[in-house]
Structure 1
Amino acid sequence: MSDIFRIAIVGSGPAGLSAAAHAAKLGISHILLEKTDHLSDTIYKYQKGKHVMATPNQLVLRADIDFDAGKRETILGIWDTQTAEQKINVRLNGEVKAIEGEKGNFTITLTDKSQIRAENVILAIGTQGNPNLVRCPGGDMDHVQYQLDDPGEYVDEHITVIGSGDAGIENALGLAADAAQGNVVTILNRGTDFSKAKGANVKLLMAAADEGRVNVMTETSPNRIERGFLVLDTRDGEAKIACDRVIARMGSAAPRKFIESCGIQFTSEDREAFPKLSPSFETTNAGIFVIGALAGYPLIKHCMNQGYDAVEFINGNTGLKPADEPILAAKFANLPIKKSVDEWLEFIRNNVLILSDLSPLQMREFMLDSEVRFYKTNDIVFEKNAPGSSLFGIAQGKVDIPLPDGRSTGIVIPGGSIFGEVGLVSGRRRGSTIRAIADTVVVEIPRNAILKLMGSVPAVKRAVTRISTERQLLQMFQSGITPSDLAEVLETAEIQSVRAGQAIFKQGEPGDDVFVIRSGSMVVEKTIGGKPVFLSYLPAGNYVGELELFDNGIRKQTVRAAVKSEVIKLNGQAFRRLLEKKPDFGTKARNAMGERIDLASYIEAKKDSFSSVVDMYSNVANFLVDNGVGEATDVLLIDENLCVGCDNCEKACADSHDGISRLDREAGRTFAHLHVPTSCRHCENPHCMADCPPTAIHRGQDGEVYIDETCIGCGNCQRNCPYGVIRMEKEPPKKPSLWTWFLFGKGPGPGEPSHEWAYKNAKGEKAKRAVKCDMCSGIEGGPSCVRACPTGAAIRVAPEEFLTVARLERGEA
């Protein structure tokens, strides 16, 4: 066994290499252990030619080896050269098997059975060797891989990349970079946002999608992998695509068994949890330090700074402040309460419930993306209907929801809790005014930052989900129900994602669980005479399944998702105890149950007398749901029996919107006499909002989804809309008035002007921007298309009002 080293560094990635370089500069005895035959295995395994970014740009780099943005090969070459020049003590092929001992006397055993002694150990091993696996059927097939070394090796293949982080995006772009290779590249994203990826990478991906080089599929996950094909769960149901190769880049987790064998504790039992660390990166086993990706900091600049800092701490520089200290100090500088950066971070972490499981290091990174704000008593945090999708955590004080006259509704949100979750989940405008009722300190977390946090720290996701679920149930049930009344029900709550067409339960099955529709919508059907009959449509904010609570527990109906949805599954017995505990709520629920039972009985009794009408209605209803009406809040329908083809609807739309029509009457699909034209449905969860860089798309107080003047014309909304209702148009020249046209023949006349007229009268080039139906927001009288229809053929309806079998009685099917 060799003499004892002052520091043994395990792992030669950016963090470990930086630590070793600083130890060499300070003359500290050290050894850098790398399990492979080359330095920095994580960077080495990046795909060939990859451009490595040096973000965050505002962060100062502390390191004794150079690093700047550039090609993978260039960076590795510089590090190899400087490692030799600085005489860093490196041992390649030195894989660590075990670490034992205590501070001042650690024994490190390698796989070749040799041993190394050290006073301190720095673990910088990363997590890439422990990737998250594809867990659908076929995930173990030989054409599923978790690493991409050289994109140029693959030619004329259908390749699907699973994962929406930087690694997945960069792999997809690398495989699609050379059109001559002939690859057909698809990338899957389970959600709608690329919140885990750098903004620059997302822009490159969207540009590649525009050029047809990469097929980007959002709200999509693998269902099963077959030889030559991949079956997907999409927002519209199951889909099958050609697939010769799957590259899974879904993140990774710490090698927990090895880390715990070193005497190091984790923050929780979650697979994605990180080791417990002090502000100086020391673990629960004194003398062992963790830095880099294993500490929760995967960005290269962060890793290298930590390597430098850890050596400084070991060398006795306990007063060293992190490189991000000036940035964070500026965020806290204008607050009336004076604390140091560390005190503020600890104060916020300890007092905001959803942040309690973050380590001090994670708090620093988190706060780089967030803002701390102070509000005096009676200050308004935000107004009802204001745009915004950020989340707020209350570190001190409390807020309430005031009435328009200033009186309180009695709804108080205490310190430690959160608010703003409605905008976070749905993208809608603020649902209520929020007012501080004491001197209040809040941390405002941008939507992308909280989504990133929820994706990387499971405890945060659970806390946000629990609070948003509780608020939704309180709002739905009312009847004097308090949070304490919901405690048992919430303990049983389970969030489930349901693909379009999938049933949450079927007629004839046993079951008494209750399902709350969190997002999306459901269709209720009953099999009568061997045929499924459409009974009703239920948007988010309703619940189903309670009919079976008070009988034999056999499902009376089938309930399936109209579109991709989320439901909250509640234990039936816990829900029944809630009904019994709160008589007012029980009465309300029984009345609703009675109405549903009466509706089903009515159809059963009348099936013979108007079976053809029932069949027609079911067919029409299913047609509408299949054409996206199931996720609409307001949809334009045209009765072809009444429509005379005058196009007054289109002309009126254009005249109300600066000469550009927001609808195409002839486009769209028709069933029987009912036509769904190409016009915005104002979806409950608008797809167009998913990736709008300037946040130019909002929902108004009447439910309309509109685009404001900050639109930059990037086209993301047009790409994300599944119904083709968004156009990218240049602002047209101003038209003369209709009277000028009518009396003097000047101008193009009513409706949208021809391209020839617009081109001839345009004054200079104007940038394109997105245009879509805004339900004539701000125009007296409501939608112009409906008002201009001379026969009443055009109507705008909420689907829950239209899609109900009760209309059969009135002959409106």
Structure 2
Amino acid sequence: MAERFQIAIVGSGPGGLSAASRAAEIGVSHVLLEAEPHLSNTIYRYQKGKHVMDEPGILPLRSPLEFKAGSRETILSAWNDGVARLNVNVRHGHEVTKVQAQPGGGFLLECGNGAQFLADRVVLGIGLQGNIRKLGVPGEDLPFVQYQLDDPGAYSGETIVVIGAGDAAIENAIALAKQNTVIVINRRDEFARAKEGNLRGILKAIEDGTIQCYYNTAPEKVEALTVGRKKGRMMLQTPQGRAQILIDRVIARLGASAPRGFVEGCGVKFPNKDPAAVPAISPQYESNVPGLYIVGALAGYPLIKQAMNQGYEVVEYILGRTVEPADEPLLRDKLKNVPNFRSVDAFIADIQRNVPLLAQITPLQLREFLLDSDIHAPRPGTPVFEKNDYTNTFYSIVEGEVEVIVDAAQNKRIKLRRGEFFGEMGLISGRRRAATVVAGPGAVLIETPRRSMNRLIQSVEAVKREIDKVFIARALQSRFTPESPIERLNEVVESARIVQFKAGDVVFNEGDVGDCVHLIRRGSLTISRQIGGKEVVLSYVAAGNYVGEMALLGDNRRSATAKAAIATETIRLDGDAFKRLFQRDPLLRARLQSEYSNRTASNLAMQQMPAGGDIISFLIAQGAGEATDILLIDEALCVRCDNCEKACAETHGGTSRLDREAGPTFANVHVPTSCRHCEHPHCMKDCPPDAIHRAPNGEVFIADNCIGCGNCERNCPYGVIHLAAKPPNKPGLLSWLLLGNGPGPGEAPYDPKAAKGSEKKAVKCDMCKDLKGGPACVRACPTGAAIRIGPEKFPSYARDRS
């Protein structure tokens, strides 16, 4: 006969273990069913000696078991001792294969070894370890490709590729690098999902050269080798093209998906078919099956401390007790200024009811999302952000409305109401805000930082799809038909798709049949033609603009070649659908024909001056295509007075952020070493103290909370950031005049020895953002040789110099 318990806990991960321990502590009848012969298989399978962190540090721990940052071995030992001390009823070797609700109430649990148990309530804490994601490319099952690392010390002298950007991948890479050559493959341009400590560790290892990292790179295939010392090779798709690595081993840490078959077999429903989806559960962790609860990674909360808190709380909820979630005081403080605020749970329920985008994630995930975000209730008419601001946060409208000012002169406004979102264009493109947004009546807004929003987009496919769909529709409306309702664009939106290009990739070739239009969502393109057997660049097209319409309007072949200047994403619009749109819309057709004429005239003018195209090509080759503001010096006018450097030093406390002599030159166009204020700043990506910001006018600057870690210096591909100690205060004018102390006005540099031993921090050009009149280097140039321009002005600049 099956044993009966008040609570059956399936899985002894942090959540399940904490739940069982709490039940044991207060004398509740329980059983903890674990398939393995040891506790917490997820932690047990961590690499030996792994340091386990106790994030989030701001949350208190609720559990009878001890947990604080330490080695894997220390934590497992403490948990084993705690389970023994509390006399937890754990049954090892009991893999639960079926959980079935009983007609009279309660559940029957069947195990693979034939054992059966009855329980009034069931808590699933099974985690995701049994459903590892694989590479998804040819060769993913070769013997030297593995998805787990138990002991880094077992490998020595090997070339090992670690694939992944999460904590497990980072920890594996750092541990293996002590006695192996380690190469990390990151599919994205930053380690957005990593804990703070791991983020600092991997960036330091990459900076020191102990680990090599390929960013924005994906594996193409893995092959075994029969000749040579290495076991195999991996083919990669990198931003620069295909690459090959000879390897001994691949360790892919790509996470895992929910054991969906088993969970659905228990009667639990998932919100959609997305493999990354987690079951929908209540704030009390109860699933759609009454009496069946889910905690831990399966509920979307993979952090150990969060899972342990849930394990404690779920037992309290099962017993009918009221317990405040551990993050409740923090969220309550964030929400205290929201009009008519009732409770955290009520606000989260409002979000899920009112905001379809955020309804894609569970209440538990929403709590974490809100901890990262700011909540605003601005007065009507208050600007949320201004047109041309360089900000990139994302906004969700929980209540009320906002107005998007499309055309201030004609007072043309578009209302966005409860449930909609905005700010996605700045988030994705990295360019200036395309419009001013002001708060309307009753507006309650969630403002989410770029890093947190990107993490959500990367982890929840449904969120990414919805943002992409809205981005496409709004981009089409704002760029082509701002006077038309967005519904008129449905056919074009449905036919559109997002395509990606690496730097140098051809979007279309001169002579191709024109079958589409490309609206540039991120990055930039160059337009060129073959003239006299030579490729001549005619223009530069930045994000927010479009190319390819000329062939459609003329029903001809492509008159020029379009190439990606940097890594670029475009919205590819089907040519037939786009033709039908402008045939129905005479205003759009007139606008396109006008721009067609202007582009034709501009291209013809550039063809007459091929040297101008060479200048554009030179600037693009220097990476200027991703700049928003770059310093250029006309060598024909420069008299080498170095007033630009001296002015920079005088403006920034004695440390110049400009090296006039450094940098390449072509046709008297010199690109000195000075910040380009990139549209997606490399320096911002991995700043542990979040010290690098973008001002509303576009200036990228470093705040005083810089810790001097050097990550930004390493990440900048243009060498415009360096670490420097603050020089001593400059003596006053009288002291210099009367006593000769220190350098005089305009004299630089300061004595670097005087600052020896001082704390070093990162310094870079900030375009003198706090000074009226613009950058000091430009104002100090006596001949007008120094100018700052954006890439959109490259064609006119090149023509003027030809």
TM-score, with structure 1 as normaliser: 0.88
Hey, what does 1:297 align to over in structure 2?
A: 301
Correspondences of 1:286-435 after superposition (within 5 Å): 286-314=290-318, 316-317=319-320, 319-381=322-384, 389-401=392-404, 409-425=412-428, 434-435=437-438
Q: Deviations over 1:677-721 (max 9, x none)?
A: 222222222222223345443445554433344544333322221
CA displacement at 1:394 relative to structure 2:
1.6
Change (3 A) 1:375 1:791: closer
Alignment root-mean-square deviation, CA: 3.5
Change (3 A) 1:373 1:640: closer
Q: Please say if residues 51 and 71 of structure 2, whose CA atoms lie closer than 8 Å, have aligned partners that are also in contact.
A: yes
Hey, what does 1:199 align to over in structure 2?
A: 196
The residue identity in structure 2 corresponding to 1:564 is A
Hey, what does 2:152 align to over in structure 1?
A: 151
Q: Deviations over 1:154-175 (max 9, x none)?
A: 2223333222222222222222
Hey, what does 2:174 align to over in structure 1?
A: 173
* Among 787, 790, 801, the residue aligned to 2:793: 801
* Among 271, 274, 278, the residue aligned to 2:275: 271
Counterpart-to-counterpart distance in 2, 1:67 and 1:21:
13
The residue identity in structure 1 corresponding to 2:296 is G
Question: Structure 1 stretch 292-301 or stretch 593-602: which is displaced more?
Answer: 593-602
Hey, what does 1:668 align to over in structure 2?
A: 663
CA displacement at 1:724 relative to structure 2:
0.4
Q: Deviations over 1:604-653 (max 9, x none)?
A: xx7xxx7xx74x55554333212101112232334455555554443444
The residue identity in structure 2 corresponding to 1:253 is S
* Among 670, 689, 693, the residue aligned to 2:684: 689
CA displacement at 1:397 relative to structure 2:
1.1
Q: Deviations over 1:93-120 (max 9, x none)?
A: 3233333444635444433455444444
Q: Please say if residues 231 and 241 of structure 1, whose CA atoms lie closer than 8 Å, have aligned partners that are also in contact.
A: yes
Counterpart-to-counterpart distance in 2, 1:752 and 1:467:
55
Hey, what does 1:255 align to over in structure 2?
A: 259
Hey, what does 2:161 align to over in structure 1?
A: 160
Q: Secondary structure at the match of 1:664?
A: coil
The residue identity in structure 2 corresponding to 1:279 is P
Report whether the alignment pairs 1:19 with 2:23: no
Change (3 A) 1:482 1:695: farther
Change (3 A) 1:229 1:648: farther
Counterpart-to-counterpart distance in 1, 2:364 and 2:573:
37
Hey, what does 1:122 align to over in structure 2?
A: 123
Counterpart-to-counterpart distance in 2, 1:656 and 1:79:
58
* Among 177, 186, 189, the residue aligned to 2:186: 189
CA displacement at 1:41 relative to structure 2:
0.6
Counterpart-to-counterpart distance in 2, 1:793 and 1:375:
46
Correspondences of 1:415-564 after superposition (within 5 Å): 415-425=418-428, 434-510=437-513, 512-528=515-531, 531-550=534-553, 554-564=557-567
CA displacement at 1:428 relative to structure 2:
6.3
Q: Secondary structure at the match of 1:76?
A: helix
Hey, what does 2:766 align to over in structure 1?
A: 774
Q: Deviations over 1:8-36 (max 9, x none)?
A: 32211111222222333444443322222
Hey, what does 2:582 align to over in structure 1?
A: 579
Hey, what does 1:759 align to over in structure 2?
A: 753
CA displacement at 1:483 relative to structure 2:
2.4
CA displacement at 1:411 relative to structure 2:
3.2
Q: Please say if residues 48 and 150 of structure 1, whose CA atoms lie closer than 8 Å, have aligned partners that are also in contact.
A: yes
CA displacement at 1:67 relative to structure 2:
2.2
Change (3 A) 1:294 1:379: same
Counterpart-to-counterpart distance in 2, 1:31 and 1:125:
14
Q: Deviations over 1:265-290 (max 9, x none)?
A: 10111110011223332223333322
Hey, what does 1:96 align to over in structure 2?
A: 96
Hey, what does 1:53 align to over in structure 2?
A: 53
Counterpart-to-counterpart distance in 1, 2:253 and 2:297:
16
Change (3 A) 1:596 1:142: farther
CA displacement at 1:722 relative to structure 2:
0.7
Change (3 A) 1:553 1:66: farther
Change (3 A) 1:37 1:476: same
Q: Please say if residues 391 and 695 of structure 2, whose CA atoms lie closer than 8 Å, have aligned partners that are also in contact.
A: no
Counterpart-to-counterpart distance in 1, 2:78 and 2:558:
68
Change (3 A) 1:280 1:249: same
Change (3 A) 1:291 1:644: same
Counterpart-to-counterpart distance in 2, 1:332 and 1:642:
58
Counterpart-to-counterpart distance in 2, 1:640 and 1:469:
43
Change (3 A) 1:158 1:623: farther
Q: Deviations over 1:645-687 (max 9, x none)?
A: 5544434443444433322233223345543222222222222
Counterpart-to-counterpart distance in 2, 1:244 and 1:672:
48
Counterpart-to-counterpart distance in 2, 1:139 and 1:512:
37
Counterpart-to-counterpart distance in 2, 1:440 and 1:800:
36
The residue identity in structure 2 corresponding to 1:199 is E
Q: Deviations over 1:441-493 (max 9, x none)?
A: 22232333322222222222233333344443333235513322333333333
Change (3 A) 1:75 1:385: same
Q: Please say if residues 429 and 543 of structure 2, whose CA atoms lie closer than 8 Å, have aligned partners that are also in contact.
A: no
Q: Please say if residues 392 and 442 of structure 1, whose CA atoms lie closer than 8 Å, have aligned partners that are also in contact.
A: yes
Counterpart-to-counterpart distance in 2, 1:695 and 1:478:
39
Q: Deviations over 1:545-604 (max 9, x none)?
A: 22333465744433221111221222223322322232212211123234445666788x
Question: Structure 1 stretch 61-70 or stretch 733-742: which is displaced more?
Answer: 733-742
Correspondences of 1:617-656 after superposition (within 5 Å): 618-640=613-635, 643=638, 645-656=640-651
Q: Secondary structure at the match of 1:49?
A: coil
CA displacement at 1:44 relative to structure 2:
0.4
CA displacement at 1:45 relative to structure 2:
0.8
* Among 209, 212, 220, the residue aligned to 2:209: 212
Q: Secondary structure at the match of 2:377?
A: strand
Q: Please say if residues 391 and 694 of structure 2, whose CA atoms lie closer than 8 Å, have aligned partners that are also in contact.
A: no
Hey, what does 2:702 align to over in structure 1?
A: 707
The residue identity in structure 2 corresponding to 1:308 is Y
Counterpart-to-counterpart distance in 1, 2:6 and 2:579:
65
Q: Please say if residues 389 and 696 of structure 2, whose CA atoms lie closer than 8 Å, have aligned partners that are also in contact.
A: no
Change (3 A) 1:754 1:140: same
Counterpart-to-counterpart distance in 1, 2:768 and 2:375:
38
Counterpart-to-counterpart distance in 2, 1:668 and 1:559:
27
Q: Deviations over 1:55-92 (max 9, x none)?
A: 22333333233322221111112222333343333332
Percent identical: 48
Hey, what does 1:37 align to over in structure 2?
A: 37
The residue identity in structure 2 corresponding to 1:148 is L
Q: Please say if residues 512 and 553 of structure 1, whose CA atoms lie closer than 8 Å, have aligned partners that are also in contact.
A: no
CA displacement at 1:294 relative to structure 2:
0.5
The residue identity in structure 2 corresponding to 1:767 is E
Where in structure 2 are there 5+ consecutive unaligned residues? 225-231
Counterpart-to-counterpart distance in 2, 1:555 and 1:42:
56
* Among 704, 721, 725, the residue aligned to 1:726: 721
Change (3 A) 1:476 1:84: same
Q: Secondary structure at the match of 1:466?
A: helix
Where in structure 1 are there 5+ consecutive unaligned residues? none
Hey, what does 1:69 align to over in structure 2?
A: 69
The residue identity in structure 2 corresponding to 1:689 is M
Q: Please say if residues 387 and 698 of structure 1, whose CA atoms lie closer than 8 Å, have aligned partners that are also in contact.
A: no
Change (3 A) 1:427 1:769: farther
Change (3 A) 1:620 1:236: farther
Question: Structure 1 stretch 255-264 or stretch 22-31: which is displaced more?
Answer: 22-31
Q: Secondary structure at the match of 2:708?
A: coil
Q: Please say if residues 18 and 308 of structure 1, whose CA atoms lie closer than 8 Å, have aligned partners that are also in contact.
A: yes
Q: Deviations over 1:315-356 (max 9, x none)?
A: x41644433333333333444414233222101221123212
Q: Please say if residues 234 and 564 of structure 1, whose CA atoms lie closer than 8 Å, have aligned partners that are also in contact.
A: no
